[in-house]
Amino acid sequence: MKKNTTRFAAVVGLAVVPALALAGCSGDNGGGDGGGAGGSGDDNTLTVWAWDPAFNIYSLEEAEKIYQKDHPDFELEIIETPWEDLQAKLTTIAQAQQTDELPDFFLMQNNAFQKNLINYPDLFADYSGSEVDFSEFPESVTAYSTLDGVNYGVPFDNGTAVTALRTDVLEEAGLTLDDFTDITWSEWIENAKTVLDKTGKPILSGIAGEADIPMMLLQSAGQSLFDAEGEPTIADNAALRDVINVYKDLVEAGLLTEVNSWDEYIGTLVNENVAGTINGIWIIGSIQTATEQSGKWGITNLPKLDDVSGATNYSANGGSSWALSSSGNSELAADFLNATFAGSTELYDTILPKAGAVANWIPAAESDVYAEPSEFFGGQPIFQQVVEYGEHVPSNNTGAYYYEGRDAVSTAITNVIGGADVDAALEEAQKNVEFAMG
């Protein structure tokens, strides 16, 4: 192995605890002290940092059992490390140049992968000598952990975006799920207006000042806030301007209700204040806590931007990948990951029902478990659908300053909603990101 130097309910009849709703995306769950450091130093043992016992850590435990079938002496030491702690530890280790404190591999949020890989290259090993077949993952997902054509992460948690809608509300408005499938935003907004007029329900909700929906829209067209060299492209980004105008239209038409917190956002869904949502697939964990709504929901793809080159009906929000450390047993770690998260239908069939862990690994969708109809979602084989959607998600460039760019755009959107000129707001956002970049 070459060292680099440069949430939700599952198959019908089974439920998942509400805490899983954020497990795949936010990474801010999980307790523990995040203690322990350093690779195992044992040819049959690996150490790993990961967060969330009910989701990521449970999945690792099941992967260990599968790997032990052919490697009975193998042991996996799992060190529970909340995402914020993990990021802080990586930064500290890099600055102190104490790479011997790293585990053998660790979980990394997809949107933070490029930032860490570019800023702290000495912490990572690549998969050049491994047997992992990266063609069996969506290109848009492997792109998060690929730099200069080299893969540094095995995708795990699926962040593919879906439109989840109340089919009973659509029926009241004289519409069906098909009316919201494979269409443009202009068509989608007209249908949403019909829903509002006939039922009094806005079709969407979102947290004010956060750019989740705009960022999903931007990626759906394969566009980014940065160019290939990592320079910000906010001020003159025509696709971003269209995205903000769509979001503004949704808010001003009363089709999107803005709230002030995550709990309020979830409340709009489970308390039937809105007719649907657009988010990563992990959002269905929260939706399904409203058990009385079983059979009243359906999922479909996203509307695509009108008249934008490269626009599609697919996007993503969140997700995570397994990174190899530069100071661990990267060969054993890569073999373990290849045999499990990059090669085991049995693993994904096991963790889907209990943890709601939807695969990015495309062959997983071919199993009977993934083809099971979901009673909550009207009998749709939603897990199979989501993996298929993931194959069509365009890649986008997150770069080292993704979060700075996202924050600047969030502020710009707030200003535009408040009456500011779109172009002026984007120019200000560009200046703020350039300042942050030094």
Name the packing angle between helices 402-417 and 422-437 (round to 10°): 150
| Residue at 91 is within a domain | yes
Last residue of a domain, one of 372, 392, 419: 372
Same domain for 322 and 251: no
Alpha-carbon distance 209 to 202, whole Å? 19
Note whether 185 and 289 are same-domain residues: yes
Is residue 5 a part of any domain in this protein? no
Quick check: is 393 in a domain?
no
Do 410 and 299 have their domain in common? Answer: yes
pLDDT of amino acid 354:
85
Are 321 and 299 in a shared domain? Answer: no
Based on C-alpha coordinates, what's the Rg of the chain? 21
3-state secondary structure 356-377: CCCECCHHHHHCCCCCCCECCC
The pLDDT score that the predictor gives to residue 38 is 64
> Both 179 and 297 in a single domain?
yes
**pLDDT of amino acid 438:** 86
56 and 109 together in one domain = yes
The count of structural domains within the chain is 2
- pLDDT for residue 355: 86
Q: Is residue 170 part of a domain?
A: yes
Residue 387 lies in a domain: no
Asked whether residue 74 is domain-assigned, the answer is yes
Domain CATH code at residue 236: 3.40.190.10
Task: Please tell me the predicted confidence (pLDDT) of residue 87.
Answer: 96
Evaluate whether residue 267 is within a structural domain.
yes
Q: Do 191 and 269 reside in the same domain of the chain?
A: yes
Domain check: are 172 and 284 in the same one? yes
**Which tokens sit at 21?**
């709703």
- Tell me phi and psi for residue 272, to 5 degrees: 65, 35
In this structure, the answer to whether residues 194 and 295 fall within a common structural domain is: yes
pLDDT at residue number 41:
61
Residue 413 included in any domain: yes
Same domain for 183 and 245, yes or no, is: yes
pTM: 0.86
Q: Give the Cα separation of 58 and 367 in Å (integer).
A: 21
Determine the pLDDT at residue 399: 86
- Please give the Cα distance from 381 to 299 (Å, whole number): 10
Residues 98 and 35 grouped into a single domain: yes
Domain that holds residue 359: 18-158+317-372
Give residue for tokens 């298929």: 388
Q: Are strands 124-125 and 320-325 parallel, antiparallel or unpaired?
A: antiparallel
In this structure, the answer to whether residues 112 and 49 fall within a common structural domain is: yes
Three-state SS for 46? strand
Tokens of 227: 């160019």
Mean pLDDT by 10 residues, the chain (438 residues): 35 35 37 48 89 95 98 98 97 97 97 95 96 97 96 96 98 98 98 98 96 96 93 95 97 97 96 97 93 97 96 96 96 98 98 91 96 96 96 92 95 96 96 94
